[in-house]
Amino acid sequence: MKKITALLLVLVMALGLSVGCAQQEVNTQPDPTEAPAATEAPVAEATPEVVASAEPEKPELSGTMKVVATGDVYGPLFEEFTKDTGVTVEVLSMSSGEVLSKLRAEGGTPSADLWFGGGIDAFMSAADDGLLEPVVFDAANDLAPEFRNADGYWYSKGITIVGFLVNDGLLEELKLDKPASWDDLTKEEYKGEIVMSNPAVSGTNYAVVNALLQAKGDAGWDYFEKLNENIAYYGRRGSDPKNKVTADEFAIGITYVDPSIEKLTEDYNVSVIYPSDGIPWVSEGVAAFKNAENVEAAKAFIEWLFSNDDHLRQLASVENKTGVKIIKPSIEGVELTYDASILMDEDLSLFGKQREEILARFEPMMGDKAAQE
């Protein structure tokens, strides 16, 4: 009996420990009453009305805001938010597909409060399913209209652009020229040397498909049929094309392009190519989850972020991206690192509407039958 008692004791202690850990995290956050005092920054930028409307909300802010984000670089931004409001932030990185699946499975009881980053089509689809909470604030009017939902269900925090990452050494070895445009990619010589991600998994690669279909009209599907013959395989992670090219495995990867990709050229024998016939792009969303435990904090965060250009500038600097300039043209101190005119003309609203249809048509192409030809 003694042994079992001892065992149980260990168990109880262990359980207590894990619960204790969790509780501690909750307890260590600063006293919420301190929060209003710390909020100085918004006053400088925002109109007096905003401050007034925000004031009654602020004392309610407390606890922890749980965030699902696409990366883990946002630490400094969230720290700033904690400093201003007293809300502690916990971040978990998840791809947008995972978030959407989890949301649907949870059936209206989301375990996170804020969704930060990921292709806008997932946000559109979540909004259609009624899984998001509208956030309305005055500064939203400063954002370009295509970058916010009319009812405030989602906002764009920036844009991701897509280009090629090519392996110079491998191309040289294969005696091939660098591809310069999307049309180049269908040349027979690149057969088996191109990697792109499954558009269902990768928001950026979905943007490629949707944007090129929009641009090419009826000829779009012919283009992808041809491209498909050159594609070695479709990666199941967004980072696959980049990784396979830097590892010298494949010559050309269709990937998102940002300063971190540009930086790869220092360490690897690779170069970045902006296709001459246009750059597909997709905006990245931010939204609060409906019915979330701390939905107030998430709403406050969205308002906090967009109402103060300092915060947007900080976002741009931690992400090392400049797309914010397109979202909020009036912002100063952020300049685009690329020429906005090379971006393709896209109707973003189609991204959500056509997603299912396009992916359903794309899916059979990606199987192994095509590869056996």
Which residues ranging from 226 to 245 are in contact with another protein (CB under 8 A)? 232-234, 236-237, 239-240, 242-243
Q: How far is the CB of 17 from another protein (least distance, A)?
A: 6
10 binds another protein (CB under 8 A): yes
Distance of CA 285 to the CA centre of its chain: 6
> Residue 160 and residue 256: Cα distance in Å, rounded?
7
Chain positions 282 to 301 lying near another protein, rule: CB under 8 A, are: 293
139 close to 306: Cβ distance less than 8 angstroms: yes
Sort strands 64-69 and 132-133 into parallel, antiparallel or unpaired.
unpaired
Q: Would the CA dihedral through 255, 259, 260, 264 be positive or negative?
A: positive
Binder among 39, 95, 149, 294 for another protein (CB under 8 A): 95
Site for another protein in 175-194 (CB under 8 A): 192
Q: Least distance from C-beta 271 to another protein, angstroms? A: 12
Per CB under 8 A, the list member of 85, 125, 160, 204 interacting with another protein is: 125
| Distance between CA atoms of residues 351 and 284, nearest Å | 12
Of 335 and 368, nearer to another protein (C-beta) is: 368
- Please, what is the minimum distance in Å from the beta carbon of residue 18 to another protein? 5
> Measured between alpha carbons, how far is 348 from 331 in angstroms, rounded to an integer?
22
Determine if 9 is a binding residue for another protein (CB under 8 A): no
- Verify binding: residue 262, another protein, rule CB under 8 A: no
Report if residue 150 touches another protein, rule: CB under 8 A. Answer: no
Minimum distance of another protein from residue 111's CB (angstroms): 4
Q: How far is the CB of 284 from another protein (least distance, A)?
A: 16
The smaller minimum CB distance to another protein, of residues 13 and 144, is found at: 13
- Mind giving me the DSSP string for 104-149? HHHTS--S-SEEEEEEHHHHHHHHHTT-EE----GGGGGS-GGGB-
CA 77 from centroid of its chain's CA atoms: 15
* 297 within 8 A of 63, measured Cβ to Cβ: yes
Q: Which of 52, 55, 71, 172 binds another protein (CB under 8 A)?
A: 71
